[in-house]
Amino acid sequence: MWEVNGNSAKNYRLWQQASAELLEITWDLIKYRLKIFDSDFQLLIIDGVLLRSSKALPRARKSLAHLQEHNVPFILLTNGGGKLESERVDELSRVLGVPLDVGMFVQSHTPFGGMVKGVSGLGDKCVLVVGGDGEKCRRVAEIYGFQNVITPGDIAAAYPEIWPFGKALLLHYKTFARPLPKPIAPNDPSSGLQVSAILVFNDSRDWGLDATVILDLLLSSGGVLGTSSPLNNRPDLPNRGFQQDGQPPIYFSNPDLLWAAAYHLPRLGQGGFRAAVEGVWEAVTGGRSAGVTLQKTIIGKPSRETFLFAETQLRQHREAMAALNPQASPSDAEREEAPKLHRVYMVGDNPESDIRGANEYLSPWGSQWLSILVRTGVYSGADEPARKPRVVVDDVWDAVRWGLQREGWDIPTEEK
C-alpha cells in the first residue's frame, strides 16, 4: 500500500489542483476551437466598409480582429479588382493589421476563373481583357488559366488608327503592349484576329478606345476584328440581326455605377462605363425603340451569380477553419449534429449593390441572409436608402456587434 508523508501529501494536492486547472483550461481551449461548430452563422463583409481609398476606416481592424479572436468565420467580398487575389489580400492584411488569406476574399472578377474550363472552355481561346492599370488584368487572367489574352492597348499599339484620339496614351500603351497573335485583316477574315469573349475585368482607363474596340467586335462577323456582319440590322432576324453572327459574348464584372473614392463625392465606376457602351450601342443600332438590346452578362454584386459564389466560398472557408485544428475537430457523429449554416450577415455600404444583392438572394442551401448597411461609404445616412436593409448602423464595428448580439453573444459596449 502506497503511503505519503505530510510534505508529499501537500505536493500531491497541489499537483491535483494544478492538473484540474490545466484540464479546465484545455477544455476551454477545445471548446473555443470548436466554436465554429457551435455557430450556425457567418459574416460576409464588403471591403468598402473597411477601407476608404486604400486607407483603413476607424474600428475596421478591431472588427476583424474580434471576429478572428472569437473564431467567427467571415469572408470579404468586393466589386473591386484589377489585381491578383493574393496581392489584394496582402495589401488588406498590411493596411488592416489582421492576417487574411486568399480563401477569405472574393473580387468581382474572381468567378471569371471558372470560365477557363467547363462549359465556356475559353482557356485556349483568344479573349479581350478590358480595364485595369497597364496589363495587370491580363496577368490576372493568365494566372486564372487564360492562355491567349489581348488588351485594347495591344490593338492600339499595333493599329493606332483604330482610335484616332488616343495619341496622348499611345506611348503608355507601348510600354506594356504585346504583339497580336494575328493581324487585323478585313480582306482575309480567315487569317484575321478573332476574339472569342470580351471580359471587362476592371474599370476602364480609356473609355474611348475600350468602347470603340468593344463596339467593333459586337458588330463584327464571327468576332473577327475589322469585319462587319452582313446580318446586322436585318428586320427579319431576332434582335434585328445584331449579335446573331458568332460575335463574342461580353461579360462585365462590376455593375456599380458609383463608388466611394478619396474624393468627397462618389465617383463613376465600371457601371458608368457599361452605361456608356450601352448608350453608344443604342445610338448605333437603334436600341430598344428598334427592338434591339445589348446581349450581355453582368456579374458582381448584386447579381445572384456573385452571391452564390460568395456563399460557396463562405462554406468552404468554414470547413477550412475546422481543418486547421484537426486535434480539436468533433467526431463524425458530433459533426453530423453540428448546426448547419443558417444565417449570413452581409455588411455593406452600397444600398444598390450590397443591400439589394443580399435582400434578393435566395440561398440554395436555405440559409437566411440579413443585410446591414453602414454609413461610412457610398451611403452616408443623409437620406433614406433606396434598398431597405435589416438595420442601419454607423460602421462595421457596430454591424459586427449587432450581428453577434442577435446571436446571443455578450459583446461589451465601447466608445467610438
Q: What is the pLDDT of residues 131-185, one digit of tens each?
A: 999 999 999 999 999 999 999 999 999 999 999 999 999 999 999 999 999 999 9
pLDDT category of residue 338 using cuts at 50, 70 and 90: very low
**What is the pLDDT averaged over residues 233-253?**
98
**How many whole angstroms separate alpha carbon 392 and alpha carbon 365?**
26
**How many whole angstroms separate alpha carbon 398 and alpha carbon 284?**
49
pLDDT of 412 strictly over 70: no
Q: What is the pLDDT of residues 35-59, one digit of tens each?
A: 443 456 777 777 778 988 788 999 9
Query: Residue 366 CB: number of other CB atoms within 10 A?
Result: 9
Q: Can you name the residues that pair with 345 across neighbouring β-strands?
A: 43, 370
pLDDT at 90: 93
pLDDT at 152: 98
pLDDT at 40: 62
The dihedral built from the CA positions of residue 69, 75, 79 and 85, taken in this order, carries a sign that is: positive
- CB-based contacts of 386, cutoff 8 Å, min separation 6: 351, 352
> Mean pLDDT, the chain, as a whole number?
86
DSSP string, 3-49: ---HHHHHHHHHHHHHHHHHHHHHHHHHHHHTHHHH--EEEEEEGGG
Q: What is the pLDDT of residues 183-217, one digit of tens each?
A: 999 999 999 999 999 999 999 999 999 999 999 99
Q: How far is CA 322 from the centre of its chain?
A: 24
- The three-class DSSP label of residue 288 is helix
Element (H, E) at 214: helix 207-218
pLDDT at 327: 46
| Residue in the structure block whose three cell numbers are 443580399 | 358
pLDDT category of residue 2 using cuts at 50, 70 and 90: very low
Lowest mean pLDDT across 51-60, 274-283, 314-323: 314-323
Lowest mean pLDDT across 22-26, 126-130, 354-358: 22-26
**What is the pLDDT averaged over residues 327-346?**
60
* Grid cell in block for residue 25: 483550461
**What is the pLDDT averaged over residues 234-253?**
98
- The three-class DSSP label of residue 51 is strand
pLDDT at 166: 92
Q: How many residues does the chain have?
A: 416
Distances from the Cα of 49 to the Cαs of 83, 274, 360, 371, 399, in angstroms? 20, 24, 20, 13, 10
Q: What is the DSSP letter of 221?
A: B
pLDDT of 373 strictly over 80: yes
- CB-based contacts of 100, cutoff 8 Å, min separation 6: 64, 76, 89, 92, 93
- Among candidates 150, 178, 158, 156, which has minimal Cα distance to 169? 156
Say if residue 389 is preceded by a cis peptide, omega within 30 of 0.
no
**What is the pLDDT averaged over residues 221-250?**
98
Q: What percent of the chain has pLDDT over 90?
A: 66
Within 251-354, residue ranges assigned H as helices are: 270-285, 304-323, 332-337
CA geometry: angle 155, 160, 162, nearest 5 deg: 75
- CB-based contacts of 163, cutoff 8 Å, min separation 6: 156, 208, 209, 212, 213
pLDDT category of residue 392 using cuts at 50, 70 and 90: very high
pLDDT at 415: 57
pTM over 0.85: no
Q: Can you name the residues that pair with 369 across neighbouring β-strands?
A: 344
Q: What percent of the chain has pLDDT over 70?
A: 85
- The three-class DSSP label of residue 199 is strand
Q: What is the pLDDT of residues 100-142, one digit of tens each?
A: 988 889 999 999 999 999 777 999 999 999 999 999 999 999 9
CA geometry: angle 339, 345, 349, nearest 5 deg: 170
